[in-house]
Amino acid sequence: MLKFMKNENKKKSSNDEQSCEVTIEDAEKIVNEDDSAFTRTNIKLHRNLLDILNDKTILSFFIQYLESKNGLPLVKFWLDVETFKAVGETSSSFSNSDRTESRASHYKNSTECCKNDDCVSISTTTTSTSNIEEIDEFVDEVDNNMTITMTQSLTDDEKFKICEKNRKNDECEAKSNQLDEDTKKFQPMIIEDALRIFRKYLVTDSTYSIELPAMILGKLSLALCGNNDSESDMDLNNLWCAFEDAQKFIFDIMEREYLQEFLESSFYCKYTIDVLTSESLCLAEILCSETALFYFMEFLEQEDNSKLSYLEFWLNARNFRKQEELSSDQLRTDALVIYEKWFSLQATNSLKFSNKTRTKVEEQICADSIEQLLKCFDEPIKIVEIFLDRNCFKKFIKSQLFFKHLSEVMGKIDNGIERNLQNGIIRRNSSFAIKFPSNKHRRTNSESLEKKGVTRSISAQNTLLAGLDHKRNKTSTDLQIDSRQLIDPNLLWRRQNANTKLSFGKVDHIGRYLRDFEMPNTIPTSNIPQSKSSFQLQNDSIDVDDPQSIFEQAKLSSAQNRLKNAVRKLVHLPEDSMQQEIAWQVAELIVKDVTSITLQNENHSS
Partner 1 sequence: MSESYDYLFKFLIIGSAGAGKSCILHNFIENKFKEDSSHTIGVEFGSRVVSVGGKSIKLQVWDTAGQERFRSVTRSYYRGAAGALLVYDVTSRESFNSLSNWLTDTRNLASPNIIIILVGNKKDLEETREVTFLEASNFAQENDLIFLETSAKTGESVEESFLKCAKTILAKIETGEIDIQNTSSGIQFSDSVIRNNFENRQKASSSGCTGNCRP
Q: Nearer Cβ to partner 1, position 138 or 377?
A: 377
Q: What part of residues 545-574 is at the interface with partner 1 (CB under 8 A)?
A: none
Q: Which stretch binds partner 1 (CB under 8 A): 209-217, 387-395, 486-494, 588-596?
A: 486-494
Of 82-90, 128-136, 179-187, 457-465: span binding partner 1 (CB under 8 A): 457-465
> Taking the complex as a whole, how short is the minimal distance between the CB of residue 370 and partner 1, in angstroms?
15
Q: Which stretch binds partner 1 (CB under 8 A): 139-147, 388-396, 485-493, 547-555?
A: 485-493
Amino acid at 508: D
Q: Which CB atom, from 476 or from 500, has the smaller least distance to partner 1?
A: 500
Cβ proximity to partner 1, 217 vs 288, nearer residue: 288
Contact predicate 144/241, CB 8 Å = no
If binding is defined by CB under 8 A, does position 322 make contact with partner 1? yes
Site for partner 1 in 24-53 (CB under 8 A): 47
470 Cβ partners below 8 Å, 6+ apart?
Answer: 423, 481, 486, 547, 551
The answer to the question of residue 338 lying near partner 1 (CB under 8 A) is: yes
Please identify which residue in 143, 255, 312, 362 interacts with partner 1, judged by CB under 8 A.
312
Q: Which long-range contacts (CB under 8 A, 24 or more apart) does 140-147 make?
A: 141/165, 142/92, 142/93, 142/179, 143/89, 143/92, 143/93, 143/236, 143/237, 144/237, 146/92, 146/183, 146/236, 146/237, 147/235, 147/236, 147/237
With CB under 8 A as the contact rule, the residue among 3, 40, 108, 509 that binds partner 1 is 509
The Cα 318–Cα 310 span in angstroms is 12
Instruction: Give the range of 20-28, 37-45, 500-508, 547-555 binding partner 1 by CB under 8 A.
Output: 500-508
Cβ closer to partner 1: 25 or 303? 303
- Binding segment toward partner 1, per CB under 8 A, in 147-155, 358-366, 469-477, 493-501: 493-501
Instruction: Confirm or reject binding of residue 503 to partner 1 (CB under 8 A).
Output: yes
Helix, strand, or coil here: 322? coil
Selected range binding partner 1 among 383-391, 400-408, 428-436, 570-578, rule: CB under 8 A: 400-408
The site string for partner 1 over 271-310 (x = CB under 8 A, - otherwise) reads -------------------xx--xx-xx--xx--x-----
Beta-carbon count within 10 A of 240 CB? 21
Candidate segments 107-115, 162-170, 489-497, 588-596, binder of partner 1 by CB under 8 A: 489-497
Q: Pick the piece of the chain touching partner 1 (CB under 8 A) from 338-346, 367-375, 442-450, 581-589.
A: 338-346
Give the x-and-dash track for 220-239 against partner 1 (CB under 8 A). Answer: --------------------
Contact status: 493 vs partner 1 (CB under 8 A): yes
Q: How far apart are CA 535 and CA 110, in angstroms?
A: 50
Task: Report the sign of the C-alpha dihedral through residues 417, 423, 425, 431, in that order.
Answer: positive
What amino acid occupies position 574? P
Residue 337 interacts with partner 1 (CB under 8 A): yes or no: yes
424, 550 Cβ separation under 8 angstroms: yes
> d(Cα 127, Cα 239) in Å, to the nearest integer?
29
Q: Which residues, 6+ apart, have CB-to-CB distance to 144 below 8 Å?
A: 237
Q: Does 432 bind partner 1 (CB under 8 A)?
A: no
- Report the C-alpha gap between 152 and 564 in whole angstroms: 99
Read off the amino acid at residue 182: D
Does 502 contact partner 1 by CB under 8 A? Answer: yes
Give 363-369's long-range contacts (Cβ < 8 A, gap of 24+): 365/332, 365/335, 365/336, 365/339, 368/328
426 pairs with which residues across the strands? none
Site for partner 1 in 403-422 (CB under 8 A): 404-405, 408-409, 411-412, 415
Q: How far apart are CA 360 and CA 345, in angstroms?
A: 14
Number of residues in contact with partner 1 under rule CB under 8 A: 59
Beta-bridge partner residues of 507: 513
Nearest to 262, CA basis, from 42, 482, 491, 74:
74
- Residue 522 exposed, middle or buried by CB count within 10 Å (0-12, 13-18, 19+): exposed
User: Which residues in this chain contact partner 1 in the complex, by CB under 8 A?
Assistant: 47, 264, 269, 290-291, 294-295, 297-298, 301-302, 305, 312, 315-316, 318-320, 322-323, 326, 330, 334, 337-338, 340-341, 404-405, 408-409, 411-412, 415, 453, 457, 461, 463, 487-490, 493-494, 501-509, 513, 515, 522, 525, 528-529
